[in-house]
Chains A and B, each alone.
Chain A
């Protein structure tokens, strides 16, 4: 920091050297209404789009669930059959979609908002935050479908055993969103500078899905299970599925591990994002 001993009390100095920890949370808080506005914009424009608009939210997970059902249940026979298996996959799908959408959008936040960022200043952190919150909209539409199917299955006497763990669901969603946000912010710094990484990233995300128990139980990994448990997502997925379906091998310690890793990633992501946001306009 170039320091000039002056008696004046400047509100702010726009300068070059900014420490890694010079994060202005007060400013972010002052702009909190903007998060609300961006989320509202996404909500409003989403409903004003097409008649099919909201329907796509439903079609997508249903189709991919059917496909995964065909591959993993009918062909590979990794698990039981019928509605239960279907619910098992859909459950994973719904939360995975929220996570991957958030990660994808946050990681390209600089390039896709370059126009707005180039014209007006607001704490850039607002943008990833509102992306994460906006994503909840799609998530809840898909979640309702899942719950509807779950209720049908339950009353038809299928083998699903919802239990008290499902009350943790808001916390699990928070963890998913935070992880997507944190990882996204880490990658955003890279995709801004080296654009090729955008393609690598979407490829990486689809690979990551197979490293996560999304469409099959954790036990599928067999002797690799202990490595799979290192994935912070494993605990979240297992807990979610255990709470709603009573399936899988979930242990509370996994969730604690997930929470800690998510927090570490969030802090790391915020620091990196804060570093990049100051000069990204010159590289975009």
Chain B
């Protein structure tokens, strides 16, 4: 077996906060260090990429000392939570950005699909877009012409091939875009969760096509996904990333199990509630957990999540309310008041400490959620308002195949009963 891809001591540092302020002074510092023959002064102060704790410097390591090798024909699944460094690794492999230190060596051509349909122009026809997108991905016009029929056939858009893609349904659009990418000729293929789009039938077809790619054509595939089902089906090796370092590497079963067990801190972005001393109401703690699971486990869409708020009322108060809002990717899903079901709290909230337990409705779809917490006095004004004080991810960790994975889209998930007469 020969090694086709090898990463040695690869690290990537990013600058946090507002890029653009103070960069000239940093640049001058760097330049001055280089003139004197010293190391980059800003390379030392980086920290590991842990979103939960407030870092001390503006620089973080999105990836730190990554070493791995991939053999020809292997399919490697790269897994990890959001922010673990998967996308950064793919970006480095795709040459979109370069590593801060270390290097990656490879043999042959790398084709990367960080997104399908890059460069698609809505005004152009399917045919024109196939040529444009193919050229962007590195195919020559000749190659595209040779594969044109195959691409159109795979996407199933023969009838619309001379129609501007703005008239396509979103499904057709994605199918066409994926189809172009799937027909790339390259020794190494890098795929970033592009399968999360499209309908179930097409997903199966794509998985099949990618299976062909690895098993049949001897191509090497690096695949990032949250769907453990498709990862297990497709890949034989796995790499698990956590906070920018490799947590585990080995057989896919082993690595996916490691991921499902989840052995890192829950991504809670806790606000320091203590800092705001209040003579009225103050928050002691806020936490979220899945019933029947360890604290650190990954939340699945089927888990019933429980939010716990513990707070202190410093004196008897009338007309107060405490509420929280659940946002999905920045969009408000709903808001809930504690006085809705406990009107006596509104009439008089007695001095003392309280512990509230709220069972979240089980309609969450995969994604990132944040919670805003606030308290106020009716007709007077807010007591406090904490925005995005808790953040958590809900994932779709299906283990038994992709057929049942959640791909319906939408903000919420339902299981309505279809009564038959």
Contacts and interface: CB of A to CB of B under 8 A. Distances in A.
Interface of A: 2, 4, 8-16, 18, 30-31, 33-34, 36-38, 40-41, 44-45, 48-49, 116-122, 193-195, 278-279, 281-283
B104 A9 contact: no
Contacts of A116: 118-119, 136
A20 B27 CA distance: 18
A120 B115 contact: yes
B101 interface: yes
A48 B164 CA distance: 10
A16 B108 contact: no
B15 A282 contact: yes
Interface string B126-161: 001001100111111100000000000000000000
Given A13-B103, A45-B123, A116-B119, A282 B14 contact: yes
B174 to A, nearest CB: 15
Contact of A12 (B20, B99, B105, B137): B105
A112 B93 CA distance: 23
B141 A14 contact: no
Contact of B23 (A119, A194, A278): A194
Contacts of B106: 10-12, 14
Nearest to A15: B103
B94 A121 contact: yes
Given A40-B128, A121-B94, A15 B99 contact: yes
A207 to B, nearest CB: 23
A16 B24 CA distance: 21
B100 interface: yes
B92 interface: yes
Contact of A45 (B15, B105, B107, B121): B121
Nearest first, the 8 A-B pairs at minimum CB distance are: A15-B103, A121-B95, A10-B105, A281-B97, A37-B135, A34-B135, A14-B104, A119-B115
Given A14-B104, A15-B103, A194-B20, 19 more contacts: A2-B103, A10-B107, A12-B105, A14-B92, A15-B98, A16-B98, A16-B100, A33-B135, A34-B136, A37-B131, A44-B123, A44-B124, A48-B123, A119-B115, A119-B118, A120-B112, A121-B94, A193-B20, A278-B97
Interface in B18-72: 19-20, 23-24, 27
A120 B124 contact: no
For B3, B108, B123, the residue with the greatest tally of chain A CB atoms inside 10 Å of its CB is: B123
A190 B248 CA distance: 41
Contacts of A34: 135-136
A118 B95 CA distance: 9
For A38, A119, A279, the residue with the greatest tally of chain B CB atoms inside 10 Å of its CB is: A119
B118 A11 contact: no
B262 interface: no
A40 B103 CA distance: 37
